[in-house]
């Protein structure tokens, strides 16, 4: 089962180590981790996507909640979530391939953000599956480099994540 | 110097050098009621020592930082107060690591103060720099590095609050040298800024009433209930409540190693310790129970053995202050998160009385039929005999600390502490070298009580240097060395599980009585039962510290034993397997 943990933490040195260290020590899995400032000064929002069975996820949440620098944790299922990841892909692109690549990029609402003599950089935003699909479609052209931020997320609707 | 003279001199010195971060620290510690610090000086904490100089805090100068932290642990476990330890940076701080890990495992409240190199030197591999926060993150409840002396009062207040509330544990404060040495302008109120800022920390004291009601109903239905109690009863201070609860419900009781002393040992409801070296009846009762009521425990593997065979037919209730303990190792049907004493008080408001008298009498009969046993041998002193003598001489009234190994288990079997905080041992970490300095700390916390350290000959050698500390300060610890010339517990495992291949478990030691004498401490030696009897009497009546070297049988084993990987119903008794 994959879950996304959305947590609000103190913006303090060492917080990332505490949380990452806890996951390592207890053998929990981190698929992706993003962190950035939250709505209140002094606080950060950290989003971790992880996998495990029901009991394991419950333990993860309780152990994370025990950290003094963690203000709140919620675990969100895929459907209740707006989850987005930013991805940059550098792909080989000879002049004739460019219009083809344009045709692939467009339906993904991705954009070309850098054009060089024989390569392009494409910027895409979406959930992980959508970004994976785009990578597969671009693969035949020759992918030179990929950089992905990992997922960040908020709960849909009125509810707040913390 | 009289205390007035000290105060005057101190004030004059402070006026000359200015009011520094270190002074702020010492004042903050006093605000928390600290009367004793175990420590060792070095370059990075010298300003703290400067501030401690002539202060009325009792500083115990140890001979190794590990002795300081186990001393602080013993002090805390005997008194219920937060233990305080102070080291310098780098090696001073890393020497504390074992004690921090031990305190974390056994939920002992400590505030650990470590000197650190000046902020400008941090990250530059400065002389005696070590990333102590990083090293100790997984073994502290929380930690701080102070960058501005003005934060000291708040950080100290938070650290003590975090250490002693909820599930207690060690909190570390790393103090860079320039922070403790900074001269602060006079005339400001540095303490007005001590409001705590820990929104992420809200330990839950009050249990959910519905959870308590559900448990109450389950208890009424039970035919074979058992109370499995542990160190949480002592942390919560609810040994009277658990005793009342057991007596009013007539539910039998078994305790973990950490819980010893929290239930009256001679009560007919008491079945003794459970687990790897638990009593036959306690383990049998847990195995056959239909409702296991776990109070302030953590389902440790040394208690449970093979999980699939741990209380396989029972429903399980777990009363604990730490929500993360619920369901960590064993599935729980009746969780009650909150202070265990508070939860018991709520249950007692309307006591559920199960129909379990048949169960109880069956267990009591079994307990009488299969007691703890060992065989005496004329002319040879058996280790268990020494513990029986200690029990007979003290009536369970003394504070006993232990080292780690066979002697620890025999102490747990034969010494019967009559109240909480009288049995102090390293349970979760099993740290050899813990017991002797812990005894020193306990004796400082409880100067009017007899304190005995039951030690193995190997464990004692791990922190034997503290003999100098107890000599200088005349701390009247009685060390009973159960000397079997072996790493006895290791030897036992090799005998039973490694085909008698005794690799490196035979271990030499000095003449402990002579070593004691060399430090100025009374040393005694006993080689048979008569000498042992006399030595126990002499040691306990001696005013100061004493070491007794009891030369005991070499090959004795601890029984009962649940072999690793086995179920708690499969026990090796002294001479046979249980059926
Ligand atoms: C610091 C440390 N190192 C190693 C061990 C492993 N160990 C557990 S019991 C034991 C033997 C202890 O020997 P001794 O103190 O003589 O006690 P005995 O078992 O003989 O009573 C050892 C080596 C430990 N628990 N702690």
Å between A36 CA and nearest CA of chain B = 18
| pLDDT on residue B578 | 63
Burial of B538 (0-12, 13-18, 19+ CB in 10 A): middle
| Six-digit token string for B420 | 């909480």
Atom of ligand 1 minimally distant from the CA of B383: 21
Q: Does A17 touch chain B (CB under 8 A)?
A: yes
DSSP string, B290-319: SEEEEES----HHHHSSGGGSSTT-EEEEE
Q: Does A21 touch chain B (CB under 8 A)?
A: yes
Distance CA B488, CA B562 (A): 17
Domain A2-76 has CATH 3.30.1330.60: no
Name the strand (E) or helix (H) holding A104.
helix A95-105
Distance CA B172, CA B84 (A): 10
Backbone phi, then psi, for B131, in 5-degree steps? -80, 80
Active site residues of B: 65, 127-128, 177, 489
For residue A58, the chain B residues in CB contact (below 8 A) are: 327
CA of B204 to the centre of ligand 1 (A): 37
List residues bridging with A32 in a β-sheet. Answer: A49
| pLDDT on residue B348 | 98
Q: How many CB atoms lie within 10 A of CB A47?
A: 23
| Closest C-alpha to A26, from A74, A67, A54, A59 | A59
> Would you give the distance in Å from CA B60 to the centre of its chain?
19
For residue A18, the chain B residues in CB contact (below 8 A) are: 137
Burial of B208 (0-12, 13-18, 19+ CB in 10 A): middle
**Mean of the pLDDT values across residues A98-103?**
93
| pLDDT on residue B193 | 74
With beta carbons less than 8 A apart as the criterion, state whether B228 and B296 touch. Answer: no
Q: Whose CA is nearest to atom 11 of ligand 1?
A: B487
| pLDDT on residue B577 | 66
Burial of B493 (0-12, 13-18, 19+ CB in 10 A): middle
Domain ranges of chain A: 2-76, 82-152
User: Between chains, do B137 and A66 touch, taking CB under 8 Å as contact?
Assistant: no
Judge if the beta carbon of residue B512 lies within 6 A of ligand 1. Answer: no
Burial of B107 (0-12, 13-18, 19+ CB in 10 A): buried
Distance CA B67, CA B275 (A): 29
Domain ranges of chain B: 3-193, 209-369, 383-558
With beta carbons less than 8 A apart as the criterion, state whether B456 and B431 touch. Answer: no
HEC readout, B129-160: CCCHHHHHHHHCCEEEECCCHHHHHHHHHHHH
For residue B200, the chain A residues in CB contact (below 8 A) are: 9-10, 67-72
Instruction: Provide the 3-class DSSP secondary structure of residue B463.
Output: coil
Å between A63 CA and nearest CA of chain B = 6
With beta carbons less than 8 A apart as the criterion, state whether B137 and B198 touch. Answer: no
**Mean of the pLDDT values across residues A152-157?**
88
Strands (E), B45-141: 58-61, 83-87, 110-116
Cβ under 8 Å to B: A residues 40-99: 55, 58-59, 62-63, 65-72
* Record: fold of B383-558: Rossmann fold (3.40.50)
The tally of CA atoms less than 13 A away on the side-chain side of residue B7 is 3
Complex-level ipTM: 0.90
Distance CA B76, CA B95 (A): 19
Which residues have C-beta within 8 Å of that of residue A57, sequence separation ≥ 6?
A1, A3, A50, A75
First to last CA, chain B: 69
Q: What is the pLDDT along chain B (579 residues), one digit of tens a residue?
A: 788 888 888 888 888 899 999 999 999 999 999 999 999 999 999 999 999 998 999 999 999 999 999 999 999 999 999 999 999 999 999 999 999 999 999 999 999 999 999 999 999 999 999 999 999 999 999 999 999 999 999 999 999 999 999 999 999 999 999 999 999 998 889 988 789 999 999 999 999 999 999 999 999 999 999 999 999 999 999 999 999 999 999 999 999 999 999 999 999 999 999 999 999 999 999 999 999 999 999 999 999 999 999 999 999 999 999 999 999 999 999 999 999 999 999 999 999 999 999 999 999 999 999 999 999 999 999 999 999 999 999 999 999 999 999 999 999 999 999 999 999 999 999 999 999 999 999 999 999 999 999 999 999 999 999 999 999 999 999 999 999 999 999 999 999 999 999 999 999 999 999 999 999 999 999 999 999 999 999 999 999 999 999 999 999 999 999 999 888 888 999 866 665
| pLDDT on residue B547 | 98
| Six-digit token string for B359 | 């169960």
Distance CA A59, CA B322 (A): 12
| pLDDT on residue A162 | 58
CA geometry: angle B105, B272, B568, nearest 5 deg:
70
pLDDT digits (tens, 9 = 90+) for A65-98: 999 999 999 988 877 889 899 999 999 998 889 9
For residue A14, the chain B residues in CB contact (below 8 A) are: 133, 137, 143, 145
Domain B209-369 has CATH 3.40.50.1220: yes
Q: Whose CA is nearest to atom 2 of ligand 1?
A: B432
Å between B442 CA and nearest CA of chain A = 30
CA of B502 to the centre of ligand 1 (A): 14
pLDDT digits (tens, 9 = 90+) for A21-39: 999 999 999 999 999 998 8
Judge if the beta carbon of residue B482 lies within 6 A of ligand 1. Answer: yes
Please identify, in words, the CATH class of the domain defined by B3-193.
alpha beta
CATH of the domain spanning A82-152, picked from 3.30.390.50, 3.40.50.460, 3.30.70.1150, 3.40.1390.30: 3.30.70.1150
| pLDDT on residue B575 | 64
Please give the C-alpha separations between residue A21 and each of A27, A49, B179, B313, in angstroms, as whole numbers.
Answer: 10, 16, 28, 37
Q: How many CB atoms lie within 10 A of CB B499?
A: 8
Å between A75 CA and nearest CA of chain B = 16
Ligand 1 mutation target, pool B386, B405, B512, most atoms within 8 A of CB: B405
DSSP string, B524-543: EEE-SHHHHHHHHHHHHH-S
Name the strand (E) or helix (H) holding B226.
strand B225-229
Beta strands at B183-184 and B19-20: parallel, antiparallel or unpaired? antiparallel
Nearest CB to B198 within list A65, A66, A68: A68
Distance CA B281, CA B289 (A): 12
Name the strand (E) or helix (H) holding A10.
strand A2-10
User: Between chains, do A59 and B145 touch, taking CB under 8 Å as contact?
Assistant: no
With beta carbons less than 8 A apart as the criterion, state whether B83 and B441 touch. Answer: yes
| pLDDT on residue A1 | 82
CA of A5 to the centre of ligand 1 (A): 42
Which of B140, B146, B200 has the highest number of chain A CBs within 10 A, making it the mutation to test binding with A? Answer: B200
Judge if the beta carbon of residue B431 lies within 6 A of ligand 1. Answer: yes
| pLDDT on residue B579 | 53
Judge if the beta carbon of residue B457 lies within 6 A of ligand 1. Answer: yes
Q: Name the residue with higher pLDDT: B315 or A99.
A: B315
Judge if the beta carbon of residue B489 lies within 6 A of ligand 1. Answer: yes
Judge if the beta carbon of residue B403 lies within 6 A of ligand 1. Answer: yes
For residue B324, the chain A residues in CB contact (below 8 A) are: 59, 62-63, 65-66
With beta carbons less than 8 A apart as the criterion, state whether B162 and B142 touch. Answer: yes
Nearest CB to B328 within list A17, A59, A68: A59
User: Between chains, do A21 and B137 touch, taking CB under 8 Å as contact?
Assistant: yes
Instruction: Provide the 3-class DSSP secondary structure of residue A46.
Output: strand
CA of B416 to the centre of ligand 1 (A): 23
Judge if the beta carbon of residue B458 lies within 6 A of ligand 1. Answer: yes
Beta strands at A70-76 and B270-273: parallel, antiparallel or unpaired? unpaired
Query: What percentage of chain A reaches a pLDDT higher than 70?
Result: 99
Instruction: Provide the 3-class DSSP secondary structure of residue B575.
Output: coil
**Full-model pTM:** 0.96
Judge if the beta carbon of residue B520 lies within 6 A of ligand 1. Answer: no
Residue A104: pLDDT over 80: yes
With beta carbons less than 8 A apart as the criterion, state whether B39 and B68 touch. Answer: yes
pLDDT digits (tens, 9 = 90+) for A35-60: 999 888 999 999 999 999 889 999 99
> Predicted confidence band at A161 (pLDDT cuts at 50, 70, 90)?
low
Q: Whose CA is nearest to atom 13 of ligand 1?
A: B487
For residue B328, the chain A residues in CB contact (below 8 A) are: 59
Q: Whose CA is nearest to atom 3 of ligand 1?
A: B432
List residues bridging with B59 in a β-sheet. Answer: B37
Name the strand (E) or helix (H) holding A137.
helix A128-138
H helices within B152-265, ranges in order? 152-164, 177-181, 209-221, 231-236, 239-249
């Amino acid at each position: 089962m994959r879950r996304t943990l959305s947590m609000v933490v103190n913006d303090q040195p060492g917080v990332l180590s505490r949380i990452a260290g806890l996951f390592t020590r207890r053998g929990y899995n981190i698929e992706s981790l993003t962190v950035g400032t939250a709505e209140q000064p002094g606080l950060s929002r950290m989003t971790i996507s992880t996998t495990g069975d029901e009991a394991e996820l419950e333990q993860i949440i309780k152990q994370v909640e025990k950290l003094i620098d963690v203000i709140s944790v919620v675990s969100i299922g895929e459907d209740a979530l707006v989850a987005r990841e930013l991805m940059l892909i550098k792909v080989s692109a000879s002049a004739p391939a460019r219009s083809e690549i344009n045709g692939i990029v467009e339906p993904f609402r991705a954009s070309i953000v850098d054009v060089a003599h024989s390569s392009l950089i494409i910027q895409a935003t979406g959930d992980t599956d959508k970004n994976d699909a785009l990578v597969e479609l671009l693969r035949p052209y020759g992918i030179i480099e990929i950089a992905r931020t990992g997922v960040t997320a908020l709960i849909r609707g009125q509810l707040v994540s913390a | 110097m009289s205390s007035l003279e000290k105060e005057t001199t101190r004030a004059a010195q402070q006026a000359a050098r200015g009011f520094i971060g270190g002074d702020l620290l010492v004042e903050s510690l006093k605000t928390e009621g600290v009367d004793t610090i175990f420590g060792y000086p070095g370059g990075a904490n010298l300003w703290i020592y400067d501030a401690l100089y002539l202060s009325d805090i009792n500083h115990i100068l140890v001979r190794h930082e590990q002795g300081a932290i186990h001393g602080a642990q013993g002090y805390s476990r005997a008194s219920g107060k937060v233990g305080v330890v102070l080291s310098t940076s780098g090696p001073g701080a890393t020497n504390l690591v074992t004690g921090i890990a031990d305190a974390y495992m056994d939920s002992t409240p400590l505030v650990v103060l470590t000197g650190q190199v000046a902020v400008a030197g941090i990250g530059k591999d400065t002389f005696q720099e070590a990333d102590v926060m990083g090293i100790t993150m997984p073994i502290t409840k929380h930690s701080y590095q102070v960058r501005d002396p003005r934060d000291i009062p708040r950080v100290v207040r938070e650290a003590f609050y975090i250490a002693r509330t909820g599930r207690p544990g060690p909190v570390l404060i790393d103090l860079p040298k320039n922070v403790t040495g900074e001269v602060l302008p006079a005339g400001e109120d540095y303490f007005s800024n001590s409001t705590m800022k820990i929104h992420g920390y809200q330990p839950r004291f009050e249990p959910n009433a519905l959870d308590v009601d559900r448990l109450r109903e389950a208890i009424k239905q039970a035919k074979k209930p058992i109370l499995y109690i542990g160190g949480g009863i002592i942390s919560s201070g609810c040994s009277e409540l658990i005793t009342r609860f057991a007596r009013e419900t007539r539910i039998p009781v078994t305790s973990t190693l950490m819980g010893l002393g929290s239930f009256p040992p001679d009560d007919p409801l008491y079945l003794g310790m459970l687990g790897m070296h638990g009593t036959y009846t306690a383990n049998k009762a847990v195995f056959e129970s239909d409702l296991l009521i776990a109070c302030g425990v953590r389902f440790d593997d040394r208690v449970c053995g093979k999980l699939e065979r741990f209380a396989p037919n029972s429903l399980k209730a777990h009363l604990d202050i730490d929500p993360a303990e619920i369901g960590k190792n064993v599935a729980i049907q009746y969780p009650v998160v909150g202070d265990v004493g508070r939860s018991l008080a709520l249950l007692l408001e309307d006591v559920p009385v199960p129909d379990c008298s048949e169960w109880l009498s069956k267990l009591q009969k079994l307990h009488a039929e299969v007691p703890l046993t060992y065989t005496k041998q004329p002319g040879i002193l058996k280790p268990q005999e020494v513990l029986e003598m200690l029990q007979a001489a003290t009536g369970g009234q003394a504070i006993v600390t232990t080292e780690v190994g066979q002697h620890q288990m025999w102490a747990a079997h034969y010494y019967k502490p009559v109240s909480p905080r009288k049995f102090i041992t390293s349970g979760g970490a099993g740290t050899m070298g813990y017991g002797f300095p812990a005894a020193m700390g306990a004796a400082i916390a409880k100067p009017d009580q007899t304190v005995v350290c039951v030690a193995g000959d190997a464990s004692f050698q791990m922190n034997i240097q503290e003999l100098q500390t107890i000599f200088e300060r005349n701390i009247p610890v009685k060390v009973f060395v159960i000397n079997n010339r072996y790493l006895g517990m290791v030897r036992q495992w090799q005998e039973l599980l490694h085909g008698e291949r005794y690799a490196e478990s035979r271990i030499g030691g000095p003449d402990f009585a002579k070593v004691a004498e060399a430090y100025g401490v009374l040393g005694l030696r006993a080689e048979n039962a008569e000498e042992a009897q006399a030595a126990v009497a002499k040691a306990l009546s001696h005013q100061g510290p004493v070491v007794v070297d009891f030369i005991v049988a070499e090959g004795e084993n601890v029984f009962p034993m649940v072999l690793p990987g086995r179920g708690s119903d499969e026990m090796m008794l002294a001479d046979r397997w249980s059926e």
